[in-house]
Amino acid sequence: MEFFERFAIPHPSPAIYASMVAIGLTVIAIIAGLTYFKKWGYLWREWLTTVDHKRIGIMYLISALLMLFRGGADAIMMRAQLSMPENKLLDAQHYNEIFTTHGVVMIMFMAMPFIMALMNFVVPLQIGARDVAFPRLNALSFWLFFMGAMLFNISFVIGGSPDAGWTSYFPLAGTEFSESVGTNYYMIALQIAGIGTLATGINFMTTILKMRAPGMTLMKMPMFTWSAFITNIIIVFAFPVLTVALAMGTLDRLFASNFFTTNNGGMDMLWANLFWVWGHPEVYILVLPAFGIYSEIISTFARRNLYGYKSMVASMVIISLLSFLVWVHHFFTMGQGAFVNSIFSITTMAIAVPTGVKIFNWLFTLWKGKIVITTPMLYSLLFIPLFTIGGVTGVMLGMSAADYQYHNTMFLVAHFHLVIIPGVVFAMLAGLTYYWPKMFGFMLNERLGKLSAWIISISTLVAFIPMFFSGLDGQARRMYTYSEQAGFTMWNMISFVGAAGLAIGFALIVYNIYYSIRYAPRDIGSDPWDARSLEWATHSPVPEYNFAIVPNVDSTEAFWDAKKKGHKLFKGELEKIHMPNNSPIPFIMSSIFFVWGFSFVFAMWIPLIIATIGIFGCMAYQSFEKDHGRYISVEEIKETEEKLGGPTV
Amino acid sequence: MKIDHSLPLEYSTQENQMKILGFWIFLGAEIMLFATLFASYFVLAPRTGSGPAGSSIFELTPVLAETILLLTSSFTIGLAIHAMRLGRTKPMLVFFGITLILGLAFLGVEIYEFNHYIHVGAALQTSAFTSILLTTLGTHGAHVTFGLVWGLFIMIQIKKNGLTPQTANKSFIFSLYWHFLDVVWIFIFSFIYLKGMM
């Protein structure tokens, strides 16, 4: 029995027991459903072992949506707890756990996979490739992310959630102040997911550099591909820093080393520095692809080519460089002194310049355009004013002297939510709606889509604008309650109403998906939005080989020019196509990684060693395996093309 | 699979070219990894707490032996790739084998060295300095260990299948990895040991 005691939750509550039951029932329901409908084989062949970038993209998308609701549930609980003074809904410990998991889940397991979903699905299509450079590595990236996310998510029913904030500052996150295994989960789950992300970075950089269609020079790439390229460069250079920081944190917690402790020379500020050397570039890893999505959507629905293509690229390059030079602004108040703070203040404010260039480019693209208001366009148009509120308050926070007033208050919380929600979440919802017909062959309902866009936008303002005021009045972030005399009640109540509105908006999106699956027409053709780049030049849904003939590109908007100016996109004859085989290795190896991570969290060394051997065994098997892929014959291609309705251009 | 015979074997297919580029990018990430470790080392090196400082635990002899072993192995892997370019499988395997033996010897000395540190009271838990010292050296040592097993697998595959575009590609990528570990060691030697002994 003693062995099992370690898995108990240190601070149980009825809500957690209810969640345990719910998780158990869901797992049973899924297993029973798969068995009853005889879908195990289908699941294994078509999804778990797939190396197809489109299917991997869709799996990322499903995971991101699930995690959005997990993180959203945390958010609702926090806003409900703070809606009234001296509220007893959650105690301090649960509040700590919930704001920690909310932050980690939303950044690492919702926003990241959402971006990966769109990158995976769209980038190879936009550059006219058949897949990514290393399809099997791509599957491994997904499954490592997925297992990392699952490991993190079981923390609250086995052993207890992390409770030191999503930044896990030491010494709070050290064993002295965080005794439970929660922070071990944080360190190891992020490590596993982070390895997957790093592999994605390498994979997509190689893909974009080596697999573009003939004629597509770097400066003829669509803007989303450019943004993905820059993002992956940032990933490759930022994630190793997180890897090292997490490894040091793990050593501190499990092997009593002295990196971030307060004795024997340990230095807690080293964690803060390393974390944000990764953490600030991470912000741009999230927001640059979002900017890429907006660029695609705005030029499509303004019916104009993107204004200032070169300055768009240049501003992203500058942002990517500056993103590594601003990390100290996350802790101006933690003792660097005025000189260091001034330097980082200046670099921080400098980022507003290239970002401003991008905003003006979008506005100039709209100028004299024939604007069509669709759901994706509505999100893009609402993004500009909302994001500007978040951005301008960011410049306020970036002034180090003034930051002493704003630091660690709700003002900061309002700022970064008003950056991330319009900047990233709106873009992902816009991208989801925009690429939905390409993924599934039917469109989401426009009326419901626009309604949810409005509800989400207005609710975002209602939820977060009050925090600016309560923050300036002195309400600290991460405090689980406040007294009535503090005078924060009204602002927090308004915030709660906004949070409820957001929940309704997201529920409406789910309803829209259900409604559209049932009622949306299926005969929408391959180009329902009258769009401009290559992904719309193939069928919807996309055949596994993407393009029957590799397209020939001679402008930045190849498909538009093919439609309007009669450029010939597909030259030459059909040839047999080489495709990679499916493989169970990525899934199996990642599952072993899950066991590895779980054993590590609970310091169970024997299973850990066995799992480590298993991981290297998978790598050895992969090294010796002879797999040269397979060919799709010309007859097969003809048959598929015929079924999907013949040539597209 | 189209094979372009005008290029060296390891570059002869598009897949091979992508693998080499991808590995260079991976080495970029590895540089960031070790750069982070070095930056942390410079921050934590003076923070010895109640434990020993570098100058009192570093020994020149084993460190010099490690350096000579690893630098020589980088030379022999270069010779192996040269033999591969000439299409001569046997000398290639010989040089490849010598490389791995030198790597193994390096690892042996490093294990002796770690043993010595723990013996003189410089364990992972002793101070911030010993934590980062052993972590940085250990990360490099783990890379070498991984390389030994990886290299052995490549040798077995060459023995079985001869020099094909796949095995040549793997060998070439392995040589990049091995040279990289050598470069990291030069930094460790200069900025950890020599600087620490001064």
Residues A68-76: what's their mean pLDDT?
94
In Å, how far is A313's CA from the nearest CA of chain B? 21
Residues of chain A found within 8 Å of residue B17, distances taken between Cβ atoms: 210
B36 interface with A at CB cutoff 8 Å: yes
* A256 interface with B at CB cutoff 8 Å: yes
Beta-carbon separation of A244 and B40 below 8 A: yes
- For residue B105, the distance in angstroms to the closest alpha carbon of chain A comes to 23
Check: CB of residue A544 under 8 Å from CB of residue A58.
no
> Which comes out higher in pLDDT, residue A368 or A242?
A242
- In sequence order, which residues have a C-beta less than 8 Å from that of residue A522 and are 6 or more positions away? A441, A442
Q: How far apart are CA A435 and CA A442, in angstroms?
A: 10
Average pLDDT, chain A: 93
Which whole number is the average pLDDT over A4-27?
A: 84
Render A373-427 in DSSP notation, one character per residue. Answer: --HHHHHHHHHHHHHHHHHHHHHHHHSHHHHHHHTTBHHHHHHHHHHHIIIIIHH
CA distance A248 to chain B (A): 8
Length of chain B: 198
CB atoms within 10 A of CB B115: 10
Cα–Cα distance measured from residue A114 to residue A58, given in angstroms and rounded to the nearest whole number: 10
- Give the model's pLDDT for residue A87: 92
**Alpha-carbon gap: A250 to the closest alpha carbon of chain B (Å):** 12
For residue A236, the chain B residues in CB contact (below 8 A) are: 25, 28-29, 32
Q: Which residue has the higher pLDDT, A268 or A20?
A: A268
Tell me whether residues B129 and A265 touch, CB distance under 8 A: yes
Q: Look at the block and give the residue holding tokens 């998906």.
A: A513
Count of C-beta atoms within a 10 Å radius of residue A74 = 22
Name, in order, each residue with C-beta under 8 angstroms of A91's C-beta and a sequence gap of 6 or more: A11, A480
CB atoms within 10 A of CB A617: 13
Whether residue B13 lies within 8 A of chain A, CB to CB, comes out as: no
User: Looking at the partner chain, which of B17, B50, B51 has a beta carbon nearest the beta carbon of A210?
Assistant: B17
Using CB atoms, pick whichever of B33, B126, B149 lies closest to residue A264.
B126
Give the pLDDT band (50/70/90) at residue A649: low
Q: Are A229 and A221 in contact (CB under 8 A)?
A: yes
Distance CA B87, CA A565 (A): 52
Q: What is the pLDDT of residue A645?
A: 77
- CA distance linking residue B188 with residue B170, whole number of Å: 27
Give pTM, 2 decimals: 0.95
Tell me the nearest-neighbour CA distance from A206 into chain B, angstroms: 6
Q: What is the 3-state secondary structure (H, E, C) of A531-569?
A: CCCHHHHCCCCCCCCCCCCCCCCCCCCHHHHHHHCCCCC
Q: Which pLDDT score, from 0 to 100, does residue B90 have?
A: 95
Residue A253, CA distances (Å) to A171, A247, A270 in order: 11, 10, 15
pLDDT of residue B110: 96
The full set of domain ranges for chain A reads 10-45, 49-583+627-643
Q: What is the pLDDT of residue A648?
A: 64
The neighbour count for residue A334, using CB atoms within 10 Å, is: 13
Is residue A646 over pLDDT 80? no
β-bridge partners, A579: A630
Cβ-based contacts of A617 with chain B (< 8 Å): none
Residues of B in contact with A210 (CB under 8 A): 14, 17-18, 21
pLDDT in tens, A122-151: 999 999 999 999 999 999 999 999 999 999
Arithmetic mean of pLDDT, A396-425: 94
**Residue range A638-647: mean pLDDT, rounded:** 82
Q: Is B11 on the interface with A (CB under 8 A)?
A: no
> In this complex, which of B33, B129, B135 lies closest to A240 when CB atoms are compared?
B33
- Per-residue pLDDT of chain B (198 residues), as tens digits, is 678 888 888 899 999 999 999 999 999 999 999 999 999 999 999 999 999 999 999 999 999 999 999 999 999 999 999 999 999 999 999 999 999 999 999 999 999 999 999 999 999 999 999 999 999 999 999 999 999 999 999 999 999 999 999 999 999 999 999 999 999 999 999 999 999 887
Q: Enter the tokens of residue B19.
A: 């693998």
Burial of A145 (0-12, 13-18, 19+ CB in 10 A): buried
> What is the distance between the alpha carbons of residues A467 and A454, in angstroms, rounded to a whole number?
21
What would the mean pLDDT of A560-566 be, rounded to a whole number? 87
Which of A203, A206, A208, A231 has the most B C-beta neighbours within 10 Å, making it the best mutation to test the interface with B? Answer: A206
Rounded to two decimals, the ipTM of the complex is: 0.95
CB atoms within 10 A of CB B153: 16
**CATH entry, A49-583+627-643, from 1.20.210.10, 3.40.50.10470, 1.10.20.10, 1.10.760.10:** 1.20.210.10
Do the chains contact at B50 and A623, CB–CB below 8 Å? Answer: no
Establish if A236 touches chain B: CB-CB under 8 angstroms. yes
Mean pLDDT of A381-400: 93
Q: Residue A258 is nearest to which of B25, B128, B170, comparing CB atoms?
A: B128
> To 10 degrees, the CA torsion angle through B60, B64, B66, B68?
180
- Residue A471 in contact with partner chain B when CB distance is under 8 A: no
**Is B132 in Cβ contact with A264 (below 8 Å)?**
no
Q: At CA A231, angle to CA A227 and CA A236, rounded to 5? A: 150
How many alpha carbons lie under 13 Å from residue A53 in its C-beta half-sphere? 25
Structure token pair of residue A110: 């919702």
Q: Tokens in use for A159?
A: 């052993």
- The CA distance from A35 to A41, in Å, is 10
Nearest residue, CB atoms, A206 vs list B18, B51, B131: B18
- Is B128 within 8 Å of A623 when comparing Cβ atoms? no
Residues of A in contact with B25 (CB under 8 A): 201-202, 205-206, 236
CA dihedral A160, A162, A164, A165 (to 10 degrees): -130
A623 and B30 within 8 Å at the Cβ level: the answer is no
Contact A241 B36 (CB under 8 A): yes
Q: Does A51 touch chain B (CB under 8 A)?
A: no
Q: Which two tokens stand for residue A163?
A: 């409770």
What does the block give as tokens for B70?
Answer: 């690893």
Quickly list DSSP for A30-71.
Answer: HHHHHHHTT-HHHIIIIIIT---HHHHHHHHHHHHHHHHHHH
Token readout for B109 is 């000395």
pLDDT of residue A2 exceeding 80: no
- Picking from B17, B22, B51, the nearest residue to A264 by CB comes out as B51
Q: How far is A537 from chain B (nearest CA, A)?
A: 25
CB contacts < 8 Å between A and B, how many? 118
Give yes or no for A267 touching B (CB within 8 A): yes
Contacts of A198 in chain B (CB under 8 A): 29
Q: Do A240 and B25 touch (CB under 8 A)?
A: no
C-alpha distances out from residue A239 to A236, A479, B134, Å: 6, 30, 22
- B29 in A contact zone (CB under 8 Å): yes
Any idea which fold B9-197 has? Answer: Four Helix Bundle (Hemerythrin (Met), subunit A) (1.20.120)
Domain ranges for chain B, please list them: 9-197
Distance in angstroms (rounded) separating the CA atoms of residues A590 and A143: 6
A309 touches chain B (CB under 8 A): no
Contact B28 A266 (CB under 8 A): no
pLDDT for B1 equals: 62
